[in-house]
Each structure stands twice: as C-alpha cells, then as structure tokens.
Structure 1
Amino acid sequence: MSDDPLAEAGYLDVPPSAGGAASRSWWDANADEYLDEHGTFLGPADFCWCPEGLREKDARLLGDLNGRRVLEVGAGAAQCSRWLVGEGVDVVATDVSGGMLEAGARYDTDTGRVTPLVQADARVLPFADGSFDVAFTSFGALPFVPDADRVHAEVARVLRTGGRWVFAVTHPVRWAFPDDPGEAGLTATRSYFDRTPYAELGESGSVLYAEYHRTLGDHVGELVAAGFVLDRLVEPEWPAGHDRTWGGWGPVRGARLPGTAIFVTHLGRPPG
C-alpha cells in the first residue's frame, strides 16, 4: 500500500512545481505495473508511436537515420531506442524515472542488445549543444510537465540546425471528452480550451500524478518559439481489426475521434 494513498483525482489546479516533480516518483512506483499491462503490445524492442499501433518501421517519421545520432526523450523502458539499436542506429535513450530505466536494462538482458540509457529530466538534458541530428519521444515527458516549452528549448539546444524533432502526444481534442473508450467517450463534456491539468492527490495533499493539456495552437506556438518548423502533423487512424483498448483509446472512439497527434518538425534556426 502507498505511504500516501490516493484521496482525490480530477481536473485540479495544482502548483506547477509540484505537478512537474510528481512524474518521476509516479513512474518509479508504477513502472512494473505499466509494463505488465502494456509491455506485450509495446514489445521489449519495438518502435510503437501510439495506441493506434503505428510503427516506425512503417511510418519512417524520423527519416533516413544512416550516419545520424539520435536522442530519445522520455524513453520509459527504451523500447523504441532498443529497436533502433537493432537497426544499427547510434541512439541514446533518456528518462527521468530510474524505475523505467531499470526495466529497460532488464529488456537489454532479455534481448541481448545494449541500449545507452541516461537518467535525465527532459527540461535539463546533460548533453552539449548540437550533439544530435534527430530527437523524438513517443508520449514521453511533454504531457507530464507544466512547462513543455522548456523541453522544446532543450531539444533545440542539443540538436544541430536542421535537425528533426518528432513527438507523439494525446490528440488535444481528446481533452474535451471523457477518458472512456466506449460510447460514453463520444460526448464532449469539457471545454477544449480549459487547460486545468488532470491531477491525483494523496491524503497528505501531495501531488502524486499530473498530466497537462495543450491545444494544437499551444503546441505550435511553443515549437515556433523554440525555433522549430512544423513539417507535418500526423493523426493516425484507428486500423481495422485492431480491438485493443488502452485507457481512453479503443475501436469505438477511434472510429470517430483522433486519439494521437504526432508532430514532425525540424530546427529552422539555432536556439536563442
């Protein structure tokens, strides 16, 4: 049982510093449970962009990686980077959670692949300016911090000019609907423009978990401010025959509403 049992959950105004700091401890505590539930779908060494099942082997959103140095931000157990290692790519995986990286090390043992793993906050990356050609994240880091602009700025700093930054997030329109994969999730109940985070509080009043909503305009504005150019916005459709539910994702909602937004961008100018 948790030392601070869940007492309240919902759309709550929480201090930004507390919400941003909650991510590390939550993922440390829930890494094994998360991988028990989703690990088979994700695979120990497969690059899945989203619950719709879009794979990098098919989409090739990162472009030609031959001779490129690649950074994964918010890697979790580094399944995506591990797949890239198998493709011969020079890649480094980072995550704020030691628990997730420990799981990644176990996956390395299971697969026989060596994936460079670095524990780091995405807002303070421990790499020199212009160290990478490509950076990406699949639902990592950005949803769990109140200041995603700092993540974009750090990625811009460590990318070379012209470098590609690709990230997948929950499609912003989904925040207007209940997090239900069935018929109940098809009726909007909140304003799309309400940016109050979803948060979970313990009995002590501490923030245990926080997830942040940004509109499409917010995402684009933050990208532009960091010097990125938006090349493509990918909204994966729910594939026929895919009947797996994942939280609010599933075939009922997937047939009518987008669940994921993938931003494909490049750095148009040096940061600053």
Structure 2
Amino acid sequence: MTDDAVSFGYRDLPDDAGVARGWWDANAGEYLDEHRDFLGDAGFRWGPEGLTEAEAGLLGDVAGRDVLEVGAGAAHCSRWLASRGARVVATDFSAGMLAGAARLDAATGVVVPRVQADARALPFADGSFDAVFTSFGALPFVPDAVRVHREVARVLRPGGRWVFSVTHPLRWAFPDDPSLQGLTANRSYFDRRPYVESDAAGRVVYAEYHRTVGDHVREVAAAGLTLVDLVEPEWPEWNDQVWGGWGPERGRYLPGTAIFVTTRP
C-alpha cells in the first residue's frame, strides 16, 4: 500500500473514475531509483523475468523505422531502440516519469523525443508508426484498455506491430507474494474488480485493472488488430531479483508476464 493510502483492496470503480496519475507523479523518483540497475542494465526488458528485446526480437528490425512507446516511464526501452537505429518517440501520462526520462537523457547522453500524452488519445496522425509497444505501461492503469488498442491501431501503418506486456492474468488469482506462500490462489481469476487504494477523503490514489487472457484477446480483436503470438517468459536461473510479487521462488512455478504480439492487417 502506498504512503498516502488509508484503504486498499479490490472493488468496483465507476467508468469515469479516471486514471490515478498523481501516484506516478509523486513516486516516479523512488520507483526509478529502486529499479535503476535492473532497468538500465540491458536497456529493454519486457518484464521482471528479465527477457530483453535483444533476445526476443518481438518488434522485428527497427533500424530506420518509426516506433512509438506508450507508458514509457523513463524511456529505457526507447533509448535502447534509438541505439539500434529506430526513430523513436516516447509518451507517458505522468510528468514525474517524464522528468525521470529527462534526468536519464542527461546521464546517458541519449536523448529521446518525449510527449506527455494519454495512451487513449495519442497526439499523432493516422498511420504515423511502423511499430508501437509498451512494457507494463498504460494498459494496466486504465479502465478502458480497448481505447488504447484502437488508438494504437489508428496510428499504426498497415502491417505494423503492436506489442504489449502486462502482468500475466493468472497472477490475479494469487496473493502479491513472491515467495512460495504466494502459490495458493485466494481469489477468483474471473473477479475483474480492480485493485484500488484510496486516501482519507476517499479519493482514488492508485488503481490497477485485471483482465483475463480472453479479455485481452477480445479487446485486441475489437480494435481491428490480429494476435500473432502470446509470449510467457520463464524465470531464468540468473535472475535473483525480487520485484513486488515477482521473484525466483514463485517465478519457477507460475508465469508472471504475458506479452501479446499483434499486427494491424
């Protein structure tokens, strides 16, 4: 639970609840500092298991291609792509995260164009990009993810790829515990109520939304996109990092990340 939250749990939210951007603005620095070594080591990781784009190649050859990252955070992934010859733009809803990106620009000398934008209303023309991606960004934090998929489909060129990683939906049936104690399911996989934290005034300060595998597939299809692969990274022997509910003990038994690879026909 975050510092300014006094209540937390799974409950329904109204459709117009909005996005709890304030949490990311307030906690961006701490979040990026805590995960700096892991995020910065290889440049582009698809999730806490550590799978890199260099290993997976899910975006294909990016050299000379126009690429958009949504929910970019400090744009670690975009920087890696830029070093491989991509013309990349990074977007995020949080000013705090984009400030972290600016600090990383100064530290690395690799400057990535950045735009503050809601992934459900991208400020780009139709057919602007050859590929769009996000690594754990945007989708888990909006109540209406299909709008993100539709916006991505709009800005993609025909044949372009949309690749996104999210918490593996199966994980929502289990407690947020990276140890072996987290191997016992304690809630229904089909309970789609979001996880919500509220402050003393009842204001939502953090919200994260659960979708089943089927929900993700239907939302992709509703946006006119085609699913071509679903990658479930296994936990590697070298990775001893614990990140929230992810860690080597439980990671050997349960998937923690799902990566959906889609294309615009």
**Range of TM-score over shorter length:** over 0.9
CA RMSD of aligned residues (A): 1.3
* Cross-structure match for 1:98: 95
1:6 aligned counterpart, secondary structure: coil
User: What is the one-letter code of the residue matched to 1:233?
Assistant: L
**Structure 2 alignment gaps of length 5 or more:** none
Tell me how far apart the structure 2 counterparts of residues 233 and 13 of structure 1 sit (CA, whole Å): 28
Size of the aligned set, in residue pairs, is 264
Question: Which of the residues 144, 156, 180 maps onto 1:159?
Answer: 156
Tell me how far apart the structure 2 counterparts of residues 170 and 199 of structure 1 sit (CA, whole Å): 16
TM-score between the two structures when normalised by the length of structure 2: 0.97
Tell me how far apart the structure 2 counterparts of residues 64 and 112 of structure 1 sit (CA, whole Å): 23
1:179 aligned counterpart, secondary structure: coil
> 1:218-237 to 2 correspondence within 5 Å?
218-237=215-234
User: What is the one-letter code of the residue matched to 2:215?
Assistant: D
Tell me how far apart the structure 1 counterparts of residues 16 and 115 of structure 2 sit (CA, whole Å): 23
Q: How far is 1:44 from its partner?
A: 7.6
* Cross-structure match for 1:212: 209
User: What is the one-letter code of the residue matched to 1:13?
Assistant: D
* Cross-structure match for 2:16: 17
Tell me how far apart the structure 2 counterparts of residues 209 and 16 of structure 1 sit (CA, whole Å): 15
Runs of 4+ in structure 1 displaced over 6 angstroms? none
**Once the two structures are aligned, what percentage of the paired residues are identical?**
69
Question: Which of the residues 40, 53, 64 maps onto 1:67?
Answer: 64
Tell me how far apart the structure 2 counterparts of residues 5 and 260 of structure 1 sit (CA, whole Å): 28
> 1:94-243 to 2 correspondence within 5 Å?
94-243=91-240
TM-score between the two structures when normalised by the length of structure 1: 0.94
**Structure 1 alignment gaps of length 5 or more:** none
Tell me how far apart the structure 2 counterparts of residues 180 and 21 of structure 1 sit (CA, whole Å): 25
User: What is the one-letter code of the residue matched to 2:100?
Assistant: A
User: What is the one-letter code of the residue matched to 2:262?
Assistant: T
* Cross-structure match for 2:262: 265
1:21 aligned counterpart, secondary structure: coil
* Cross-structure match for 2:53: 56
Tell me how far apart the structure 2 counterparts of residues 240 and 45 of structure 1 sit (CA, whole Å): 17
Instruction: Tell me, yes or no, if the aligned pair for 1:71 and 1:93 is still in contact at 8 Å.
Output: yes
Higher mean Cα deviation, 43-52 or 73-82? 43-52
User: What is the one-letter code of the residue matched to 1:5?
Assistant: D
* Cross-structure match for 2:79: 82
Instruction: Tell me, yes or no, if the aligned pair for 1:45 and 1:82 is still in contact at 8 Å.
Output: no
